[in-house]
């Protein structure tokens, strides 16, 4: 009775063209047409549609030919990663069925519940306005095509080669994959920003029917991982201490996600809360709680970048004006519509691992899996299906990847793990908050004589891409302007918050 239409479509009927993005009715990637109206299938109970007509993206093609609306999406490049695309197409189809020639305002209104994080909105609107141009057209060709016939490629617009698969729901993303005998995993995370772990009792979770394995820090490798070899500081599951709300503590594999979630509620963790540091300037103070004991000699400084050339004091002396100002760039989060998902499967003898992951960096993931699992890279195969947006947030190995591998090895069955939308906010690696103090010397003719740039980055609990971010923040400024005298001093501080990482030009001011 609690099964949603989305679950029935994807898991019972194998119609994976209907995408799972948020389970909250917010993103629109699971849109289907129900008796002529677009609905979010994650919000509709399957029993409620008994006797109704449900159209999914798989139902738009006729006799192997795309619907003209799909052709228009293809020809006009109205998609990028493609994860929102089936929902966008169906919301648009419901609109043109009601009103074949909608206005731009009507299109915007109709797509109000469908998000595209790749930002294809203008092209989507354009594709809907011109869908009739593709009625009776066999091959969707780009409207920008102006070739003179001499060159078949140069000077013409061309549809993306993967667009037909994306507008039909054929493009397979990691969460779409179902393997025989597959289990589902979930991760238990810390409710505290900073605490030591005194004990973990998993006995009740292990006894729950349907639970196949429970792991904690003692069951996984002690090898630390991360992005920068000089700063490997992440653990697959916390052993002694948690450092942010969301730090991973235990993981469960069960016959389905709901059972795995129930099992998480039965795990008892005895924490001793520690004072938390939530501000990078607090983190610098003498006597501030130390987040990583191994870095005690530097207190909470995660990385420090000192870069200068010329003579800034001389440059300021030559300036006609001096501007001093603090600029602050806030945290932001990538929020790709596709949640992160990992599926691990071992060969029958447990020697070789195949991992499907919604990753931007399959080679890097292979390298980190090899280090942590202490296996040669040749025994680890990483498969990156289509990825539904990343923007830097899927650019590093994640606890989910390691946990699915451990759980699959213990159970001898494939294990799929998917972050919920709220888990994504804890585990993805958003943009650093930066406090940028700039002193700039300027001549009246517009020349810059000197720049002194002091920067403090709020890094969160682990390094992630932070070494590189702190470096980019300082090294990019002299690439924009001719600056003869330059001084940069950047410090990335550890704080008890979700780690920040690579988000679209990270660090670049
Ligand atoms: Fe819309 Fe990527 S194309 S979310």
Per residue in 208-243, pLDDT tens? 999 999 999 999 999 999 998 889 999 999 999 999
Alpha helices for 192-324 (secondary structure H)? 203-207, 257-266, 280-284, 312-318
Q: What is the pLDDT of residue 296?
A: 61
More confident residue, 24 or 145: 24
Between 382-391, 446-455, 500-509, the lowest mean confidence (pLDDT) is in: 500-509
What's the chain's average pLDDT? 94
**Nearest residue by C-alpha to atom 1 in ligand 1:** 116
Q: What percent of the chain has pLDDT over 70?
A: 96
- Write down the pLDDT at residue 501: 95
Distant-in-sequence, close-in-space partners of 325: CB < 8 Å, separation ≥ 6: 437, 438
The residue to which tokens 């940028």 are assigned: 436
Which tokens sit at 400?
């989910």
Q: Tell me the average pLDDT across 113-117.
A: 97
Whether residue 462 has pLDDT greater than 90: yes
Instruction: Classify strands 183-189 and 415-418 as parallel, antiparallel or unpaired.
Output: parallel
Determine whether the shortest distance from the Cβ of 249 to ligand 1 is under 6 A.
Answer: no
Return the beta strands (E) in 274-320 as ranges.
301-309
Confidence class of residue 151 from pLDDT cuts 50, 70 and 90? low
Say how far apart CA 370 and CA 52 lie, in whole Å: 50
Q: pLDDT-based confidence at 148, cuts 50/70/90? A: low
Strand pairing class (248-254; 183-189)? antiparallel
Q: Ligand 1 in contact with 387 (CB < 6 A)?
A: no
Q: Which of 19, 57, 120 has most ligand 1 atoms within 8 Å of its beta carbon, as the pocket-test mutant?
A: 120
Q: What's the confidence (pLDDT) of residue 153?
A: 67
Give the bridge partners for 187, in sequence order: 251
81 in contact with ligand 1, CB cutoff 6 A: yes
Closest CA to 364 of 460, 461, 501: 501
- Residue 293 gets the label, from left (phi > 0), alpha (psi -120 to 50) or beta, of alpha
**For ligand 1, is residue 215 a contact (CB within 6 Å)?**
no
What is the structure's pLDDT at 509?
Answer: 67
Q: Tell me if 84 CB under 6 Å of ligand 1.
A: yes
What is the pLDDT, as a whole number, of residue 189? 97
Rounded average pLDDT over 56-64: 90
**What pLDDT, on a 0 to 100 scale, did the predictor assign at position 492?**
97
pLDDT tens for each residue of 287-310? 999 999 887 666 899 999 999 999
Helix axes 121-129, 85-98, angle to 10 degrees: 30
């Amino acid at each position: 009775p609690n099964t949603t239409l989305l679950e029935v479509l994807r898991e019972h009927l194998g119609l994976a063209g209907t995408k799972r993005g948020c389970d909250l009715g917010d993103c629109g990637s699971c849109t289907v047409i129900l008796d002529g109206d677009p609905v979010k299938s994650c919000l509709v109970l399957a029993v409620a549609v008994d006797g109704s007509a449900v159209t999914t993206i798989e139902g738009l093609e006729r006799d192997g030919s795309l619907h003209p609306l799909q052709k228009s999406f293809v020809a006009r490049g109205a998609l990028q990663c493609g994860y929102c695309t089936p929902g966008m197409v169906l919301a648009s189809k419901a609109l043109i069925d009601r009103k074949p020639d909608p206005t731009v305002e009507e299109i915007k209104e109709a797509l109000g519940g469908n998000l595209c994080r790749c930002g294809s909105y203008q092209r989507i609107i354009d594709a809907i306005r011109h869908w009739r141009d593709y009625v009776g057209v066999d091959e969707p060709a780009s409207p920008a095509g102006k070739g003179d016939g001499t060159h078949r490629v140069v000077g013409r617009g061309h549809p993306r080669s993967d667009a037909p698969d994306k507008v039909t729901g054929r493009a397979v993303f990691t969460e779409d994959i179902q393997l025989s005998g597959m289990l589902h995993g979930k991760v238990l995370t810390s409710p505290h920003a900073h605490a030591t772990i005194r004990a973990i009792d998993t006995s009740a979770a292990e006894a729950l029917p349907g639970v196949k394995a429970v792991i904690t820090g003692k069951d996984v490798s002690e090898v630390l991982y991360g992005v920068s070899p000089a700063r490997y500081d992440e653990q697959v599951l916390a052993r002694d201490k948690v450092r942010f709300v969301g730090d991973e503590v235990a993981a469960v594999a069960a016959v389905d996600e709901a059972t795995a979630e129930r099992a998480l509620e039965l795990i008892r963790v005895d924490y001793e809360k520690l004072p938390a540091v939530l501000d990078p300037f607090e983190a610098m103070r003498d006597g501030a709680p130390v987040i990583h004991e191994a870095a005690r000699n530097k207190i909470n400084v995660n990385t420090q970048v000192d870069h200068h050339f010329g003579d800034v004091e001389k440059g300021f002396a030559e300036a006609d004006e001096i501007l001093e100002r603090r600029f602050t760039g806030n945290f932001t989060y990538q929020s790709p519509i596709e949640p992160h998902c990992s599926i691990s499967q071992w060969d029958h003898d447990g020697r070789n691992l195949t991992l499907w992951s919604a990753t931007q960096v399959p080679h890097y993931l292979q390298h980190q899996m090899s280090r942590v699992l202490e296996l040669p890279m040749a025994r680890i195969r990483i498969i990156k299906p289509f990825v539904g947006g990343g923007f830097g947030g899927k650019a590093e190995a994640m606890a989910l990847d390691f946990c699915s591998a451990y759980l699959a090895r213990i159970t001898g069955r494939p294990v799929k793990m998917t972050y919920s939308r709220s888990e994504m906010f804890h585990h993805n690696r958003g943009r650093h908050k930066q406090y940028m103090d700039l002193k700039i010397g300027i001549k009246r003719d517009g020349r810059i004589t000197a720049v002194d740039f002091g920067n403090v980055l709020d890094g969160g609990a682990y390094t992630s891409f932070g070494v590189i971010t702190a470096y980019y923040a300082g090294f990019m400024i002299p690439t924009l302007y001719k600056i003869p005298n330059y001084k940069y001093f950047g410090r990335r501080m550890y704080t008890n918050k979700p780690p920040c990482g690579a988000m679209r030009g990270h660090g670049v001011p």
